[in-house]
Each structure stands twice: as C-alpha cells, then as structure tokens.
Amino acid sequence: MRFGKFIAFLAAVSLAAPAVITIAAAQDNNGRGILDAVRDRIARELERVEGVETKPPEKEAGPGIIDFEIASPAGAASGAAAALTSQYRKTHGVSFGKGASIQFCTDDYDEINVRLCPYPRAASGQRAALHDIETGGPAMQISFDDPVASVNMRINPTGGQLDEEFVARMIGFDANGNRAGVSELRFNWYQDAFTWPTGVSINADDGAGFSRVDITLRRVASNNLPVRFLIDDLLVTPAVVNAPPPVAAALAALDGPPRVGRAVIVQSPNVGPAQSTLQIYPAAVRKRLSIDWNAVDVALADQDALGMLAATLAGVGQKYVDVAELPVLAPQAGDDLQVFGNADTVNAVWRADGRDYSVYGSRLVTVIEKAQGASGVGSAITFSGTDDELTASFSLFGASYALTQHCNGGAGADPGCYDRDALGAVAESLVVLVGETGRTRP
C-alpha cells in the first residue's frame, strides 16, 4: 500500500497565514504503536486538569458522533472547503456559527509523495471541521436544538512547533444565554503520524444543559492570541435534565378513567375462606391486578438518569419495600418517611411543609357496585376527601394509588389543604421504589 510508505515530517508555519502543513503517515503498524503511546501521555496530562474528560472521544463512541464525512462537494479537489452550517442539524440537532467550514484531505499526493492537504489530516478520516478566526471571530460556536449534557471533540491547531503550548477553552451556555459551564485544557502540541491526539470536553453543571458551546484555541507563545483550529469526532450527549420525572410523565399520559386490567380473583363467596366467617352477606369479590413491570423498568431507568432518589427511609421501611409485589411510590424529600404494608398493598407516610402525606398503593381491588344513579369513576385522576384530608387517586403500572394530604386542625381549619393543584404537584414529584421481591417481577 502506497499509504504505508510515507514518513512524517512537520512544517512549522506562521499561524497568521493560512499556511500549508504537510502531513504524512507513519507505517501503519508503527503508527498504531505511536498513537497508543501518545494517547497514554495525553490521558495522563488530562488527568491533571480538573473537570476535563481524560479520554479523547473514540470514533466508535456512539451514534451521536459527527465525523464531518458529509457536506463536502462531490469531486472537489483536496483542500477545498465547504461552509459548515446546518448540515448536521437534521441528524444530530447541531449547527455551527460563522467561520466553520469542512476541510477535507484526500489521498492525493504530489510528485514527492507529500499529501496535498492544507492542514493536518484528521485522524479519523479525510474530513474535519475548521474554524477560521478571520471570518468567524475567536470562537467556534456550536448550537444545539436540544440541551446537551456534554460535548466532546478532538481539537488540533492548524500548525505549531513541537511541544508548543496551546490552551483550548470551551464555554457552555444555557437556553437563556447564561454561562452554564467552562472547561479548559492546556496541552503541548505533539505532532505524530496520526496527529490529533488532543481531546477536549465540557460537561454541563447541574441544571438545564447547554444550548450552545463556544470553543477557542489560543497559542501561549503568541500572548494567548486565538488561532484557527480544526475539530473532529464531535460527540454530544443529550441532556435529560429537562425530561419530566417518570411519575409526572406517566400521570400526564393518563387518558380517561383507569380501567381494571388483567386480574385474578383471590376472594369471592366461593374462593377463599372469607365466606365462612360471614352470616348474612356475601364476601366481596377481590381481584389481584397484574403489574406492568416493563413500564416500571422504564420509569426506574428514567429516574436514575435524572438522579431522582427517594427520601431516606425511617425504621423498618426497607423491609416492607422489599416485601411489596408492586411499585412503591415515595417522595424525594420529606421527614420521617415510613413504609408498611403487605405483598399486595403498601403505604408510605411522611411529613413535608407542615403537613402529613401518605401514598397508598394496591394491586388488590374489591368489586363493588356504585349506588344507582352515581356517576362512577369519571377521570384519570380522581379527587376526593373528608373533613380532614384530600386524596388524589390514579392508576400507574397497573396498580391503584391514592395520595392523601392530611389537613391540620380538622374541618375548615386548614383550607389550603384542599388545593388540588398543590396535591397534583406532589403526585408528579413522587419516585418509584422497587424492592427485592419487586425485582423478581411477581
């Protein structure tokens, strides 16, 4: 292979001019060895930089990676550039500001086997993105349609001296244009066979995630002046911080009165011993509902991604979470959270904002006829109450739940206690707990 025969050399260039850097590759096998060594060295260096991802992004890292393999003009000569704007918006939700272009570097060589590329060829292929400070200002601006949690990329100056010091800086902005994170990497440029050893990343602080990231590269030897640079292997990770909590999402998805799903009769006048204890009336029919454990798993994964945790369980609460054969709903915050119940019914109680709360869950239902002329269950979330409490009942994961806000002081003494919106907000903030038995999907 012709490719394997070339030796690398580096041409120092003036960063002020669009100089040509000639790059070639080392022998394939040797090249891999060198690259590994360089990666190790870079990783060690990066570990010293707080808040910066230590591993440069891998090309194979995931479907979100942008390798700048599209958008080059077909048949264009090596080195030709196409403006990089919104070519990746549809597929990745990523757009670029002024000054960005796609640089591509074909396998064309001149008569002395020097590759005809205006800049160092990207490690991952023929194309990379260039930011030109003349037309785009000091920073490359990358915007995201949806907030992102982190941005990773390889970065490379368009030229430099061996071991020359550069500073890459990334600043993240939230949807309101406020700074939401910053990351800086100081590195010594190291030109090797495959070049591009430097990876930079930025992670959003807790909050809404980034809507835009600005990247600059500065040359320390030139009074930290910004220079043009190349990026490749851009990887963005969507933020999930704006996703609704799973119970809120499940409640929002409810449509119409909750229907009784698949169930098994566990008590009736003919099933179980109940009737033998009664003298006049029939034992009610009781049914045990099936739980949609797949939906439970999705909710658990979502709340893990959101970092949602239940408040600390007091006393023997975990024992009853572990016994429960249905998901337990619990608050994220609250004092003295207790859980008790049996396999089919469970009750969590806690205190928050000066009131007591409880959420009762059951996969046992009693079959009962409503009074003649009564409406029956009319909506997905039903509010009911007595003199000293307000309850919202609903069905999730196949089970039935009742969240109760206990009023202070009895009838009329705590009028705010009957605020349905406030109780609805409490319901939306609940988290799902599944204990030992629940994990067996009983």
For the CB of residue 94, give the shortest distance to another protein in the complex, in Å: 45
What is the distance between the terminal CA atoms of the chain, rounded to a whole angstrom?
61
**Nearest Cα residue to 42 out of 189, 219, 226:** 189
| Token couple for 257 | 């009165």
- 425/422 Cα distance (integer angstroms): 5
The DSSP call for residue 377 is -
Residue number with CB closer to another protein (110 or 369) = 369
110, 277, 307, 421: which one contacts another protein (CB under 8 A)? Answer: 277
For the CB of residue 424, give the shortest distance to another protein in the complex, in Å: 15
Size of the site for another protein (CB under 8 A): 81
Which residues, numbered 10-29, are part of the site for another protein (CB under 8 A)? none
Which residues, numbered 359-398, are part of the site for another protein (CB under 8 A)? 360, 362-378, 382-391, 393-395
Residue number with CB closer to another protein (165 or 356) = 356
Q: Residue 245: which residues within 8 A CB-CB, separation 6 or more?
A: 302, 303, 306, 308, 428, 429, 431
**Nearest Cα residue to 362 out of 342, 388, 389:** 342
Per-residue binder mask for another protein (CB under 8 A), 319-358, x = binder: -x--x------------x-x-xxxxxx-x-x------x-x
CB 361, CB 427: distance < 8 Å: no
Instruction: Choose one: 119-127, 279-287, 298-306, 428-436; the region binding another protein (CB under 8 A).
Output: 279-287
Beta-strand ranges (E) seen in 56-139 are: 65-66, 81-83, 94-96, 100-104, 127-131
For the CB of residue 442, give the shortest distance to another protein in the complex, in Å: 14
Angle at 269 between CA 266 and CA 270, to 5 degrees: 70
**Nearest Cα residue to 328 out of 307, 351, 311:** 311
Residue number with CB closer to another protein (210 or 360) = 360
- 187/50 Cα distance (integer angstroms): 13
315 near another protein, judged by CB under 8 A: yes
437 near another protein, judged by CB under 8 A: no
279, 354, 421, 440: which one contacts another protein (CB under 8 A)? Answer: 279
282, 294, 309, 425: which one contacts another protein (CB under 8 A)? Answer: 282
Residue number with CB closer to another protein (63 or 378) = 378
CB 396, CB 428: distance < 8 Å: no
For the CB of residue 283, give the shortest distance to another protein in the complex, in Å: 5
For the CB of residue 215, give the shortest distance to another protein in the complex, in Å: 54
Which residues, numbered 398-417, are part of the site for another protein (CB under 8 A)? 399-402, 404, 406-413
Cα 137 → chain centroid: 31
Phi, psi of 128 (to 5 degrees): -150, 175
Beta-strand ranges (E) seen in 84-139 are: 94-96, 100-104, 127-131
424 near another protein, judged by CB under 8 A: no
For the CB of residue 355, give the shortest distance to another protein in the complex, in Å: 10
Cα 279 → chain centroid: 60
312 near another protein, judged by CB under 8 A: no
For the CB of residue 413, give the shortest distance to another protein in the complex, in Å: 6
63 near another protein, judged by CB under 8 A: no
The DSSP call for residue 274 is G
For the CB of residue 440, give the shortest distance to another protein in the complex, in Å: 18
For tokens 């990666």, what's the residue?
39
210 near another protein, judged by CB under 8 A: no
For the CB of residue 333, give the shortest distance to another protein in the complex, in Å: 18
Residue number with CB closer to another protein (199 or 331) = 331
Which residues, numbered 240-269, are part of the site for another protein (CB under 8 A)? 257-260, 263, 267
Which residues, numbered 154-183, are part of the site for another protein (CB under 8 A)? none
Q: Please name the helix (run of DSSP H) or strand (run of DSSP E) that holds residue 154, with its range, or none.
A: strand 140-157
Other Cβ atoms closer than 10 A to 246: 25
For the CB of residue 311, give the shortest distance to another protein in the complex, in Å: 15
Strand-pairing partners, residue 345, are 362
Residue number with CB closer to another protein (29 or 279) = 279
- 319/330 Cα distance (integer angstroms): 15
